Amino acid sequence: MKMIKLSTSLLLMVLIFSCASKNQKDDYSFDKELNGFQYPFKVNNFNFSSQNQKLTMAYMDIGKKSHPAIVLLHGKNFSGYYWERIANDLLNKGYRVIIPDQIGFGKSTKPGYYLYSFNQLALNTKNLLNSLKIKNYIVVGHSMGGMLAVNMATMYKESTKKLILINPIGLEPYLQFIEYKDPEFFYENEKKKTVEMFRNYQKKNYYDGKWSDEYEKLIVPFKGQIKGKDFDLVAWNNALTYNPIFTEDIVSKFSQIQVPTALIIGTRDTTGPGRGWKKPGVTRKLGQYKKLAENAKWKIKDSKLYELKGLGHMPQFEDYKRFQKVFFQALK
């Protein structure tokens, strides 16, 4: 009897270990278009020609066509999938929500070469909206998406009805303070990245040294693509998309914004791209968001600043309840 009980116990342990192994979710890999990674809503494709090549912009389009449209623009280290919670809230309040993956990101085309600029990405996005017969819209941009959103608002003044910027980068003209780097510099850095490095960067710079299962879910695309067959091309596009961040100055465009603008800022944020290669003699502290946001509010004529004290670059994930309250205040 003892032998039978022992065997049963061992069998149970083996089964538990086997099930645990099968439940491990890190045994996946994704190609350059993130095939196999599930987005929160149906993904559509906008096919178009740009810079002498055929490209596809992936996007999500939810809500009734007759309702006000909101365009959500993603940041540099993400793509459209991370807007899920905000999109659901907007949908419940009766909005139509358009969430594009910019060229070079997410499920969209990763070209062998592309002259990336925020003007080009804004044009691509406007052509997508034109194809959907959306004439007027509210633009919401987070991080790098904030730089793109400013270009949308200044290039398409008649169509953009409101602008909401969530911890946008570009609140200071980086090239005044840092050295210019060839895309090859960023490409080599991208190829050296590991999942641990990617996680630790976000943990330190976004979440004040904290981490959670929710944050871990956000890096699943990177974890899959770094093991995929197309990572070299993904890394190259990641490198190319740094160029407009460093070379384009959106601060000079703030005075051109003619629509009501909301700045939602986690004041703990100190994101300062390029602080590792400042020009000789430069002592400026990059990424002082509290001061930068106040300066932006002063430069943007019809603007309001919403400060989220104690939150960082990702306020919509660090404390969604607080973020949600000011976001819908700004939307009104």
pLDDT tens by residue, 31-64: 999 999 999 999 999 999 999 999 999 999 999 9
150 DSSP β-pair partners = none
The helix/strand/coil state of 43 is strand
Residue 26 has a pLDDT of 72
Please check whether residue 170 is in contact with residue 150, taking contact to mean a CB–CB distance below 8 angstroms.
yes
Please check whether residue 301 is in contact with residue 263, taking contact to mean a CB–CB distance below 8 angstroms.
no
Mean pLDDT score of the chain: 93
Give the residue among 240, 317, 313 at the shortest CA–CA distance from 272.
Answer: 313
The helix/strand/coil state of 61 is strand
pLDDT tens by residue, 211-266: 999 999 999 999 999 999 999 999 999 999 999 999 999 999 999 999 999 999 99
Tokens of 229: 């067959």
E strands in 52-95:
53-62, 69-73
61 DSSP β-pair partners = 98
pTM comes to 0.92
Look at residue 114 and tell me whether its pLDDT is greater than 90: yes
Rounded Cα gap, residues 135 and 298, in angstroms: 29
pLDDT tens by residue, 273-309: 999 999 999 999 999 999 999 999 999 999 999 999 9
Average pLDDT over residues 189-195: 97
Residue 12 has a pLDDT of 45
Domains of the chain by start residue, with CATH: 40-178+250-331 (3.40.50.1820)
Burial of 298 (0-12, 13-18, 19+ CB in 10 A): exposed
73 DSSP β-pair partners = 141
Look at residue 22 and tell me whether its pLDDT is greater than 50: no
Within 10 angstroms of residue 173's Cβ, the number of other Cβ atoms is: 15
